Amino acid sequence: MENIVRYRNDAVALAVLPEEAQGQHIAEVIRIDDGRIDLGLPDGACAEARCAFSCLVVPRAGDTVSVVRDPRGRFYVTAILERPDPGELEVFSERAMTIRSAAGVTVAAATALQLEAGARIGLRTPVIDAVVGRIGAFAKAVCVTAGEALLRTRVGSFCGELLDVAAQRLTVTAEHSHRQIDGTEQIRCRTFDLQSGVAHVRADTALVKAKDLVKMDAAQIQIG
């Protein structure tokens, strides 16, 4: 077995190490096929490799990668050193992933940030702060349950087939409010209190019914 000489920076100046210890290579990715990575080694040979467990970036053909060979002769891609292709970077794991930090985590995108989930996206936090110019939401059903809800935005747009709001208290403060309902609007409450400087009720037919008492109190009442 051929031996190589390496320098060791300790009490022994020189040491003779076997060739098997030289297990790291710089290779080029030739082809990717269903998890199989075909590599071109510096000596011109070809080898089949797989991604190391900690290498989450998906390799592409043409990448220059760092490769480690174990004693059994298996090759593992540990890092992607260079990529001539300017395409997007893909991070992939066959297992579930958790990102934790003892401090804060910031995700910043210069153009767009998109979240996709096959089943559900869950958010758990005491406070959610959102500062946006416009919100567009499209949903078949929306259910919100909150003790207090506060939404501040310049433009908000909510479009959905069904909108359900359940809260202990709902307060709307606006300079102008306009609602247009093509069907029927129903209000069911224990006490209905309407306070306005000028109130106009216009209808083809108007009915006022009360079980006990109907009272109209004003300085002047005009009918007709």
pLDDT at 212: 92
Q: Which numeric CATH code is attached to 22-91? A: 2.40.50.140
pLDDT at 59: 92
Residue ranges covered by each domain of the chain? 22-91
Residue 45: both structure tokens together: 């040979």
Contact by Cβ (8 Å): 147, 168: yes
- CA dist list (Å): 97 to 88, 93, 123: 20, 7, 16
Q: State how beta strands 46-51 and 75-82 pair.
A: parallel
Question: Taking phi first (over 0 means left), then psi (-120 to 50 degrees means alpha), and beta for anything else, what does residue 20 get?
Answer: alpha
pLDDT at 79: 93
pLDDT at 10: 45
* Rounded (to 5) percent helix, strand, coil in the chain: 0, 30, 70
Calpha distance 21→40 (Å, rounded): 20
Positions of the chain with pLDDT lower than 70, given as ranges: 1-22
Calpha distance 81→64 (Å, rounded): 5
Angle at 74 between CA 37 and CA 61, to 5 degrees: 15
pLDDT at 160: 78
pLDDT at 34: 80
Instruction: Tell me the pTM.
Output: 0.56
